[in-house]
């Protein structure tokens, strides 16, 4: 892997439809630069989309922006998604029940679980001034 890479890439996107595409394009460029394999690239992109869409739909941010940092090092990529909305209580988010989701009308609610299954670690810091989701993916 490159040793002379920049340590961090910062991206600010407005909370408008389809802007998560800008985030995943940036993520893909960073991940390819870091020489992640295609499966890992797809996993990070899916987790990032979930985090962005959650911020778009639930943060109620007055400024209408999501801040994303891609922090690179030799072992892993750290992706930090930050909004300055109302926050939430992660324990209050119901875990999706497979039996009620399949065949049911409500197919939503998988975001947090998907992020946790796709990434090596996920940490959520949230409160009345916003939410920060920090996710890492180790290089294999």
In contact, 52 and 114? CB cutoff 8 Å: no
- Tokens 């899916």 locate to 46
Write the CA distances from 59 to 73, 97, 104, 125, integer angstroms.
29, 24, 26, 13
Helices 111-118 and 38-58, axial angle in degrees (round to 10): 150
Q: Which domains does the chain show, CATH number per domain?
A: 8-138 (3.30.565.10)
Helices (H), 7-110: 20-33, 38-58, 98-101
Dihedral sign computed on CA atoms, order 108, 95, 50, 92: positive
* List of E strands, the chain: 8-14, 65-72, 76-83, 121-127, 130-138
Tokens of 20: 């998560």
The whole-number pLDDT of residue 96 equals 61
Q: pTM of this prediction? A: 0.85
- 5 vs 55, higher pLDDT: 55
Tens digits of per-residue pLDDT, 56-102?
Answer: 988 999 999 999 999 999 899 999 999 999 987 766 766 666 555 45
The whole-number pLDDT of residue 100 equals 53
The whole-number pLDDT of residue 113 equals 87
């Amino acid at each position: 892997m490159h040793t002379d890479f920049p340590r961090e890439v910062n991206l600010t996107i407005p909370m408008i439809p389809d802007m998560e595409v800008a985030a995943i394009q940036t993520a893909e460029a960073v991940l390819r630069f870091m020489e992640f394999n295609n499966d890992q690239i797809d996993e990070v992109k899916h987790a990032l989309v979930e985090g962005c869409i959650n911020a778009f739909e639930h943060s109620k941010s007055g400024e209408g922006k999501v801040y994303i940092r891609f922090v690179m090092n030799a072992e892993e990529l750290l992706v930090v998604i930050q909004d300055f909305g109302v926050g939430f209580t992660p324990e209050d988010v119901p875990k999706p029940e497979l039996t009620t989701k399949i065949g049911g009308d409500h197919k939503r609610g998988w975001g947090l679980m998907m992020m946790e299954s796709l990434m090596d670690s996920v940490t959520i810091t949230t409160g009345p001034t916003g939410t920060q989701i920090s996710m890492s993916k180790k290089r294999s």
